[in-house]
Structures are given as structure tokens and as C-alpha cells.
Amino acid sequence: MDFRLLNGKPKVTMIERFDQTVKLIYPDNTSCKEFPNIHSCIIYIDEKNWAVNVEHLHGDRKEIEKSNK
């Protein structure tokens, strides 16, 4: 186990589809939620105080980080 991942926040998986919609898989791995875009998903994750453990994003990571600031 990589203990650097243990920061106390529940982990979620975020999947961006080719049509720019996003599917978020909850920490319990049995529930999920759909979002119209990555920005609304990130806002939801922040509100829940979750951390993204696995990302499947189609955009350039640097561009995605810029758009979140």
C-alpha cells in the first residue's frame, strides 16, 4: 500500500467521456453520479471533501488544472 495516498479523505474515481460529460464513482464503489462537465464535478467533489484517487480525463492535465483556478 502506498501510504502517500492516505490523507484521510474518501477516494473517488472520475471518468470523463468523449462528449465531455463526467461520471463520478463514489467511495463505496457501488454508487455513481453523472455531471454535464468536469467543472461541476470538481465543485461537487470539493463540497463533499473527497479526493480524486483515479482520473480518466481526455484533456491535457495542465489545461484542466489551469481551468480549475
**In the chain, where the domains are located:** 14-59
pTM confidence score = 0.67
User: Which of the two residues, 3 and 27, has the higher pLDDT score?
Assistant: 27
DSSP bridge pairs for 35: 22
Measure the CA–CA gap between 69 and 58, rounded to whole angstroms: 19
Tell me whether strands 32-35 and 11-16 are parallel, antiparallel or unpaired. Answer: unpaired
- pLDDT band per the 50, 70, 90 thresholds, residue 10: confident
pLDDT, one tens digit per residue, over 35-58 is: 999 999 999 999 998 988 876 665
- pLDDT band per the 50, 70, 90 thresholds, residue 60: low
